[in-house]
Amino acid sequence: MRRRQKPPLPKRHGLDPARLRLPEQGEWETVRDHLVERLPMVAPARIDELLRTGGIVDLDGPITPETQFVPGGAVWFHRDLPDETPVPFDITVVHRDTVLLVADKPHFLATIPRGRHILQTALVRLRRELDLPDLVPAHRLDRATAGLVLFVVDPARRGAYQTLFHRRAVRKEYEAIARYDPDLELPRVVRSRIVKDKQVLAAREVPGEPNAETEIELLAHRDGLGRYLLRPLTGRTHQLRLHMNSLGIPILGDNFYPTITDKPVDDFGKPLQLLAASLGFTDPITRQPRRFDSTRTLQAWHDPDGWATVSAAGYTGGPVAGDAPTHGPTSTDP
């Protein structure tokens, strides 16, 4: 496998610098001229400041406002970070060894940097807090969903674990809380065709050959609520949320299905009641069976009144029920 070129700038806040490849053709006299045209969202004054302070480099070191444009070259720089509201919940580490780290992610924390979530992501937090600068994820979990995420400590072995997910060789179980419908026959397998358009927040089900499949089972019910076990056999965007909604029992706290609601990014109330509860697979390196289980619970099942009343305005900094505090590393391998 071809290794990625090592950036000539060190990580900052646990983040690699951005790499910008210069076009093979162009009439720009300087790299500065190209950057001003290439990055319209960045003020020219900010580009000039980065050039003056050595914040933009090529393989030979910092470049200046006068550095000539070289077709096919590359430059590196650290992007300016957005203002982020800290996510007030800790990450639990359920397993750590020299190859793998399994994190138990809280609700509202994205897995990897993207858009307006950069420092407040599981990857960046773990890199910084555990001094693991090369940590990489083997898969992703939605920001709204809590539960297990598998990370690889040694990037050279990432491909072996990513392949498990691509081959659907990972046994994943989720728990969800939703309305109880006594007329709904469960267990059952839900199959549908799901598509997700770019620049559109929600996915949708459309007619056609199914590409998404979920086993759904009722574990228990009380007071009009059901506790459900979900086993996704495929991994489409928002698959579990769509399939539960298609049965008429949307997951509690879902701000996308059946309708999109505008929830402020700093509102940590009423989290989506969906938990990635377990991961199981045969380790591609050791060939030994592995299983990991979440330490978290879903608040709407154990404390429905508390789940319904906690809001951003009412949050005071303590742990919300169902979001476990950080523990030391423990293995749940069989």
Please identify every residue annotated as catalytic.
Answer: 142
Q: How far apart are CA 8 and CA 19, in angstroms?
A: 10
Q: How far apart are CA 268 and CA 217, in angstroms?
A: 28
Joined tokens for residue 184: 């709904």
What type of residue is 214?
Answer: T
Residue ranges of alpha helices (H) inside the chain are 31-38, 44-52, 122-129, 158-166, 239-246, 299-302, 304-309
Q: How far apart are CA 290 and CA 283, in angstroms?
A: 6
Which three-class secondary structure state does DSSP give residue 117?
A: strand
Query: Helix/strand/coil (H, E, C) string of 22-70?
Result: CCCCCCCCEHHHHHHHHCCCCCHHHHHHHHHCCCEEECCEECCCCCECC
Pairing of strands 146-152, 171-179: unpaired
The residue written with tokens 């590196």 in the block is 76
Give buried/exposed letters for 176-205 (b at 16+ CB in 10 A, else e): bbbbbeeeeeeeeebebebeeeeeeebbeb
Joined tokens for residue 74: 């590359």
Joined tokens for residue 328: 């030391």
Cβ contact 216:242 at 8 Å: no
**Phi, psi of 20, rounded to the nearest 5 degrees:** -120, 115
Q: How far apart are CA 76 and CA 35, in angstroms?
A: 12
Q: How far apart are CA 192 and CA 206, in angstroms?
A: 8
